[in-house]
Chain A
Amino acid sequence: MSRSNKLHSVAAIFDNPDKVIFAAEKVRDEGYKKFDVNTPYPIHGMDEAMGLGSSKIGFVTLFFGLFGGAFILLFMWWSLALSYPLFIGGKPFFSLPAFFPITFETAVLFACVSTFIALITVFFKLPFNNHPLHDTDYMKQVSVDKYGIYILLEDEKFDKDKIIELFNSLGASSTELIYQPKEEKYSMFQPKYLIFLVFLAVGTSASTYLMLNKLMYINPFNWMEFQEKLNPQESSLFFADRRSMRTPVNGTVARGFIPYPYKGIANPKEVLSNPTLPTTSFLKLGKKKYLTFCSPCHGNFGEGDSRLNGQFPNGPTFHSDKVRNFKDGMIYHIITNGQNSMSAYDRQISREERWAIVDYIRVLQRAKNAKNSDLEEIKKEPSTND
């Protein structure tokens, strides 16, 4: 560092800690305010000697620690109980003890990081690598094994000769005048700087381009997304028609498929006969499927009271004479084939379930038109029969 002739401070070196602590007290008593002591390690009792109070850094820690803990706790509550309530084994969304570990860790993290940052930037005002003290003999000595005091020019009572005299009377082993470093000025339009700027601009744009357009699209590993097999809709040179999907051989029948002979016929002359027995369990299946598939349009009891609020033509009642006189096979046919605006349900409902629905519709019809003798029958049966 080249120095200007502007004075910064007057410094003195002392040989042992006793001398420096005594000197610091004296300097303070003389009324100097802008002075500092430099020692290679903290010296016990120096704060009192210099008249410094205790450090306030603890408040930073306290504030940010509490802030960090409160913040993360609220955040976890918001994210797991409000934003996206997560069911975990039926436990409550927010039960405090389970949130303690993270609250604690985050509080410590905030406390430490904030303390560190505040310490360096606010309390130390570092980094400060061009401070006048750097690169002086004074600094080189107090960095190792000597103890120094310096008084700044800004001090109200600053008087160079008086201070040197004071230091010498306190037993300083040497004194030193510390000068401000020369202010270094750089012009904006230095060729070096401009070339640097150009390189920076080219470098940044090139790397951004590569990053966003090339690098991000490189697939390091294919994992299992790409496999040595043909997917549907892919082309393949193996077959003459260049399709990877093969059409089944003519007349192929899917497993379990039984063709329905009256498919597509509106009013078939003859229909299938009901192959099932209306047992209790079978009727229960019918009820379940009926409520699932038919009740939205035909009503829960087949009365044609649709729940669709007129968005679709109401399904007619099943208690009309017409439907009551249908053969079982006819109802089966309507479910399988559809009728006018009602579409076919053979894809959703299995064959067995369709017959179960037919049987259940018969139950609904019978219940609606019950005779007195039916009541007698019911009374005879045990009441547990539901």
Chain B
Amino acid sequence: MSLDYSEDMVQFTREPQLVELDDLIAKPVETNPSKKYFLALTFTASLLLIGIICTGITFYFGIGTWGNNQTIGWAFGITNFVFWVGIAHAGTLISAILFLLRQKWRNAISRFAEAMTIFAVMCAGLFPILHMGRPWLGGYLMPYPNSMNLWPNFISPLVWDVFAVSTYFIVSLLFWYLGLIPDFATLRDRSKDKIKKIVYSFFSLGWRHSNRHWRHYEKAYMIFAGLATPLVLSVHTVVSFDFAATIVPGWHSTIFPPYFVAGAVFSGFAMVVIALLVVRKVFDMENIITLNHLEKMNKIILLTGSMVGYAYLMEAFISWYSGVHTEQYSAINRAFGDYAWAYWTMVSCNAFIPQFFWFRKIRRSIPAMFIIVILVLVGMWFERFVIIVSSLSRDFLPSSWTYFTPSLIDLGILIGSFGLFFTLVLVFTRTLPVIAMSEIKGIVKGAQPTHNGGAN
């Protein structure tokens, strides 16, 4: 199995030497971080600390410290879970689906996006565990032979979730590590520091860049990409089943799986753009992560954003067309009820604002895209919030209708999850090559043979 890398790449403003590429990519790993880096790390770590404190309070006093109530049992916890799982999907899309589609521009950003996948799934995984209140009870989700002779209810969408998300995490981690092995070997051979060398040798597993290995490696990479593609689609489909498989008005709908997947890619790409904007600036990687890359990602944001917008329309239409009273009510209530503010935030951020990306100027303007992309994230968080909270607050039993107000602990945990994510991202940028060295070197001009028999 060999891939066609012979087509040349256009995203470099100047053809770099392979060593230069290595130097550039390895620089953050090999040099001491600046003051600014530590400032940023302090900031994200403080956010994380807030989250840790709020988590401690939750565990000590119980879920009663959250804003959840008898009617709205799934509020911030599940909103954040779905939000973070969604963020994760962009990474796999970039690393697997774009790989299968032979989109070479992905090589510059795939490592970073995959890392974000892993961190985002870690953030997501926290929430169901926190939501249990007694996190150790999560052990019952694993089918293990126990004295009660009980097994998990395998036909519950919540159990599907457990299988989907943990499979997703493991597969992403292996995929990521597989890509890192050759880079660890390169770092090992570059490093002069003894301890660093031991660490890199350990993680490189003694990789020798041997072609007898490369051929299996490439095939395996292909297989992983091929398996990760349906996997990533299935994960958010399963997440959407948590809602679609119930009978709550506003949830019970067949459009949910594709709608959720599109939304996930949408928000995930927004997150990747934000992170890349910072990283390329801070580490002088503008030549590797170019405007062309960002523009392509913005195009995908435009596409998926429009898909999400279509889904909003379709949801409203179907609820009218269904003729089911409660469905119709729930659609109207979403748009004009207590949560109208959240609904219209969501619609404007997700469906309208990305439409600016029709203009090439805006697609290529860094400040403009930064703002748009942040709004997209806000909108996508609100999408999950609107779906979960507005439906639950107006269920079949009018006597229990109520309004949800988050508690400080709720907000603290949400902030903490961002803290965790960005802390991990920051640590990652300083410990591992943020760009896949072996991949990017393979697509530079002159890196692949011309097949003229070595005559030059």
Contact = CB atoms under 8 A, between A and B. Distances in A.
Interface string A140-162: 10111100000000000000000
Nearest to B156: A88
Contacts of A144: 18-19, 22, 186, 189-190
A46 B447 CA distance: 13
A40 B452 contact: no
Contact of A38 (B18, B151, B209, B228): B209
A246 to B, nearest CB: 33
A38 B22 contact: no
A315 B247 CA distance: 55
Interface stretch (B37-45, B158-166, B273-281): B158-166
Interface stretch (B214-222, B264-272, B335-343, B412-420): B214-222
Contacts of B149: 83-84
A54 to B, nearest CB: 6
- Interface of B, helix, strand, loop or mixed by DSSP: helix
A19 B441 contact: no
B185 A119 contact: no
Interface string B217-235: 1111001100110110010
Given A17-B447, A143-B189, A22 B216 contact: no
A34 to B, nearest CB: 11
B22 A101 contact: no
Interface stretch (B199-207, B296-304, B364-372): B199-207
Contacts of B453: 18, 22
Contacts of B218: 42, 55
A143 B209 contact: yes
A90 interface: no
A44 B171 contact: no
Given A55-B219, A101-B160, A108-B231, A80 B155 contact: yes
B439 interface: yes
A116 B178 contact: yes
B155 A18 contact: no
B205 A120 contact: yes
A109 B449 contact: no
A294 B227 CA distance: 68
B314 interface: no
Contacts, number: 232
A236 interface: no
Contacts of B406: none
A18 B456 contact: yes
B147 interface: no
A134 B153 contact: no
B399 interface: no
A13 to B, nearest CB: 13
B2 A42 contact: yes
A143 B211 CA distance: 12
Given A36-B211, A61-B223, A105 B150 contact: no
Contact of A40 (B6, B159, B188, B438): B438
7 contacts: A47-B2, A83-B149, A99-B155, A105-B167, A108-B167, A109-B171, A123-B220
Interface of B: 1-6, 17-19, 22, 59-60, 134, 143, 149-151, 153-155, 157, 159-160, 163-164, 167, 170-171, 174-175, 178, 182, 185-186, 188-190, 201-202, 205-220, 223-224, 227-228, 230-231, 234, 238, 241, 437-439, 441-442, 446-456
Which 4 interchain pairs have the tightest Cβ spacing?
A22-B454, A145-B18, A41-B442, A143-B189
